[in-house]
Chains A and B, each alone.
Chain A
Amino acid sequence: MSLTKGAWAALITVLVGALCLFLEPHVDWLGKWPAGWTLPVNDWISQGLGAALGILKPVARFFAWLLAFPMDGLTWLLSQSPWPLTIASVTALGWRLGGWKMALLGAVGFGFVLISGYWLQSMRTLALVFVSVPLALLMGLAIGILAYEVPRVKSGVNVVLDVMQTVPTFAYLTPLLFLFGFGPVVGLVASAIYAAPPMARNTLLGLERVEHDIREAAIMSGGTRRQQLFLVEIPAAANQIMIGVNQSLMAALSMVIIAAVIGGFDDIGWEVLLTMRKAWFGQAFLAGLVIVVFAIVIDRMSATLATQRKAFDLRISGAIVGIGAILSFIVNPDSTSYAMMGGVAASVDTAVGTFTANNGAALDSFKNGAMFYGLLPLRIGLDQAVLPFTWGFMWQPQYSLWLFGVAIALGAVLAIKGRVAQGIVLIIAVGILETGIADLPWPFVLIGVGALGWMGGGWKLARLITILLGTILLAGLWERALLSLYLSGASVFACAVVGGLLGLWAALSKTAWAIIRPMCDVLQTIPLFVFLIPVLMFFQIGEFSAFLAICMYAVVPMIRYTRHGLISTPPDMVEAAVSSGATRWQMLREVRAPYAAPSILLGLNQTILYAFAMLVIAALIGTTGLGQSIYLALGQADIGMGISAGAAMAILAFIADRLVQGFAEDRRKALGL
């Protein structure tokens, strides 16, 4: 019997799994990687990097001293400038960028910030963003141009950008803290570093996409290389570069708020953190709302830069600023006297309090249900999760035998029907559920992931990801990595199901999309940190809250890509199917879904990366695994732990990314796209 590639991969994996299962009781090191075999990677990094950073430290401190000037200046300016003038300036900018719509957005948005009572804190956050973003933009532009001009460094630059974006945000902070010392400059530098890659990527992409004819026309006009680049190619790539500016701004805002965990700067992120820690959810909610408003204003205004737009009359902008200046003399300059949302915060508090009090039982049973029947078995396996306390009875070893028996029987049926791979995958899935992700034997994981790599991208990918996984094992981070894998895996699975269904619904119904779309827009604009507030309000600290926060953030790409894939079937394919007499459902199943597969896979890929990014932030409200290590390392200024755990996260994200991309590429090739 000839087996497909997938069947072979599954077969090898299941055999290794079975072998591990039988040998585990006899061979200790199969289940748990012995501590004696780990390398003291943390110490090496601490010492090596510590020495290197020590040399850099004086330079960094000088840099920090230098950066403090623009930052202090801007902070002073923004906090001293009378609020009517600030609001008028934002409104005027909005008018200039996008007419009355943007002007209104600016006025309402900043008006809300004023009455929220967080005006001063917000201005400090804004100052941080506006000092870090120019740095990020300059760095990004320079990197992008360099990669474009010197093709030899391009692949290297891409790798660096990948790493900069996959290394979790918290992991940046530990070494930076060491270099720059406590204070807002760390947040500044971290967000500049974090915000540079999108700018660099979009610059490179934009430059590469400049039409060939345009480039040659510049050459034939007799421009020098510099003239070609600055007079023709960069302006021609302006739209894409502006998308980079937009993404860079958003990344900087997100990071500035995350960096508040370092403390030392009374900005809006700190306010959220503080109120959250004190369980003042009303206040936290309000402060979170301010951040969301900020994010939306900055995002929508900067997004207009990337579109073809007409220039709006500058005189009207001037007039708006003038009115603001005049108002500054008339109204009370004390911004705090306009805080009128305190009542709202209080009532949110009471409302949430009453709600949780009244529905506590329902909320608890929802949470416990999800934990006991979903998350816990995934984490530690049915054999340990099924207890009288959770499921009402005790798991017996013979249940495992029964379970495996049924799985093997079903698998055999599938195999006989010719779906060998599916049959074996079923057995593997049951095995994982019985054992629990956190308890999986390491040879099984290594071989299984390697087999996936072989299917998705051949031997080279298989080798690469096995080696990378092996380094996590050697570094002694295996258990924590599996815990992270479990939580992100569970969230990604939930997102795939929910997001897939929502995407399908949005593809089928215009009304549905009209409802879902603005929600997606807002969810994608909100800085990561803010997702923690609502889940905390209702479910307190714990794994389930983290799971929900991750899902909320990571579900969006799945929805978007699923819908996009399903609706972008080429019209002639649809017409061919219709004229063949396909019903709506037949069309969906036979034509649209297969065509959408690569797009949906890319959505899944994004969802995975989002989940990893959020996993680390969610460590703030109680997750275990690598995220927690990174967060703890920050608190203890443990560079070795911070870097190695961050690297392990990045490795997991990288592996997931390459695997899914590999499969997506396969599908695309099969479809001839």
Chain B
Amino acid sequence: MSKAPAIEVEGLWQVFGEKASDILKEVRSADTRSIATALQDKGLIPAVRDANFEVHSGELFVIMGLSGSGKSTLIRCISRLVEPTSGAVRIDGEDILQASNSRLIELRRRKLGMVFQHFGLFPHMSVADNVAFPLKMQGAGKTERRARALDVIKLVGLEGRESAYPRELSGGQRQRVGIARSLAVNPDIWFLDEPFSALDPLIRRQLQDEFLNIQATLKKSIVFITHDIAEALKLADRIAIMRDGEVVQIGTPTQIVLNPVDDYVREFARDIPKGRHMTISEVMEPVGDNPLAGDWPELRTGMSLEDALTQCAATFEAVPVMDGDGKVVGQVRPESFVKALGSEAT
């Protein structure tokens, strides 16, 4: 891991409305809430309120929140698709809010890639041309573009569809093109704005898995936006939870599930089967003076509670099951309970 964080967001505000920047300077006070209230009183909309976080190199950082919580605006501030009102966004130490227009174009051509919720494919270009578009902007030659485009198209599993047009593709395939395009220039920083939200649940899970595979080999520094807590927990190294433009908690999936900072976050975590996201190490206690005796199942520190429970239950014998007359009709093993219950929730 390198020393400087890949992305560093510091005191970032995005306020919509007339003269937002001036008014924001005027109402400066210590407390984020009171600034936001003051802004709203003046008819302004504080969409992102004093965001502070870092994304480490190679980290998959997920920003999660409901619609209207400001997460989409936040990612647009970081990629400077909108001009933040104040604050700093440093990418590899360089404040891109200060970057000139040409420097910004340069950064986008070399360093940044982005995937959009509704794909943003160019309807008049074939798959290959869509994917090669950022390379064309770089000024790469035709043959080079073609070769690189085919590489990434292969990476996302769309071989053979290079000359298809977006309208001929399914939703899942379109987003594969979107992903391929964002990877075409081999960017260091990868922005994904709700990339799987517009897809069917089955396709979504499939793409999530493939996305994790790709990330496992490419090791990009990622900012990933979602409104789906399950998706966040499944993918994230760390999660930032947003509400009303504020980042209310940042933590690993386990921390979010185990130690929600307030009711809002708790509400999200409520439907999550804790057993799947907590590991043994989090409930384990020090061994006392008396060494543990007996025939115990093999538990390891990284094991999820669910798995551990199955292991433990496996040490018990099967129990008979009777019908109404007391006749034995079958048997059930305790671990079957655990497995059945565990596999039901998602």
Contact = CB atoms under 8 A, between A and B. Distances in A.
B81 interface: yes
A235 B122 contact: yes
Given A220-B81, A221-B133, A236 B123 contact: yes
B99 interface: no
Contacts of A231: 133, 136
A236 B113 contact: no
Interface in A267-312: 308
B116 A213 contact: yes
A224 B104 CA distance: 10
Contacts of A218: 122, 133
23 contacts: A211-B118, A212-B120, A213-B116, A214-B120, A214-B121, A216-B114, A217-B120, A217-B122, A220-B79, A220-B112, A220-B113, A221-B109, A221-B137, A221-B181, A222-B137, A222-B185, A223-B137, A227-B137, A232-B122, A235-B122, A236-B123, A236-B124, A308-B167
A215 B109 CA distance: 15
Contact of A219 (B108, B138, B185): B108
Interface residues of A, number: 21
Contact of B134 (A211, A214, A222, A308): A222
A412 interface: no
Contacts, number: 70
A326 B254 CA distance: 82
A316 B167 CA distance: 28
A213 B117 contact: yes
Give the interface centre of B79, B106, B133, B167 by most chain A CB atoms within 10 Å. Answer: B133
Interface in A388-440: none
- Which 3 pairs between the two chains have the least Cβ-Cβ distance? A213-B120, A222-B109, A217-B120
B322 interface: no
A24 to B, nearest CB: 52
Contacts of B117: 213
A68 interface: no
A238 B120 contact: no
A222 B134 CA distance: 7
Interface in B68-95: 76, 79, 81
Contacts of B116: 213, 216-217
A431 to B, nearest CB: 48
B258 interface: no
Interface string B101-131: 0000111111011101111111111000000
Interface of B: 76, 79, 81, 105-110, 112-114, 116-125, 133-134, 136-138, 167, 178, 181-182, 185, 191
Interface of A: 211-224, 227, 231-232, 235-236, 238, 308
Contacts of B81: 216, 219-220
A215 B114 CA distance: 12
Nearest to B76: A216
Contacts of B185: 222
A211 B122 CA distance: 10
A279 B120 CA distance: 61
Given A216-B114, A217-B114, A217-B181, A224 B105 contact: yes
A238 to B, nearest CB: 6
B138 A220 contact: no
Nearest to A308: B167
A214 B133 CA distance: 12
A570 B277 CA distance: 45
Nearest to A239: B123
B40 to A, nearest CB: 25
A389 B79 CA distance: 82
Given A216-B114, A219-B108, A232-B122, 5 more contacts: A218-B133, A220-B81, A222-B109, A231-B133, A231-B136
A232 B125 CA distance: 9
B120 A216 contact: yes
A129 B236 CA distance: 62
Nearest to A224: B105
Contacts of A221: 108-109, 133-134, 137, 181
Contact of A222 (B108, B122, B167): B108
Contact of B124 (A215, A222, A238): A238
A222 B105 contact: yes
A214 B119 CA distance: 8
A214 B181 CA distance: 12
Contacts of A220: 79, 81, 108, 112-114, 134, 182, 191
A221 B138 CA distance: 9
A474 to B, nearest CB: 39
Contacts of B79: 220
B120 A211 contact: yes
A221 B181 CA distance: 9
B185 to A, nearest CB: 8
B108 A213 contact: no
A214 B105 CA distance: 17
B264 to A, nearest CB: 28
A308 B166 CA distance: 13
A235 B165 CA distance: 14
A310 to B, nearest CB: 11
B313 to A, nearest CB: 49
A235 to B, nearest CB: 4
Contacts of A212: 118, 120
A227 B137 CA distance: 8
Nearest to B102: A224
A211 B121 CA distance: 9
Contacts of B137: 221-223, 227
Nearest to B167: A308
A217 B108 CA distance: 10
B259 to A, nearest CB: 36
Nearest to A213: B120
B121 A222 contact: no
B122 A236 contact: yes
A218 B81 CA distance: 11
Give the interface centre of B112, B120, B134 by most chain A CB atoms within 10 Å. Answer: B120
Contact of B121 (A217, A223, A235, A238): A217
Contact of B106 (A215, A217, A222, A227): A222
Contacts of B167: 308
Contacts of B106: 222
Given A219-B108, A220-B113, A235-B124, A213 B119 contact: yes
Contacts of A222: 105-110, 134, 137-138, 185
A453 to B, nearest CB: 29
B197 to A, nearest CB: 12
Contacts of A219: 81, 108
A419 to B, nearest CB: 41
B30 to A, nearest CB: 35
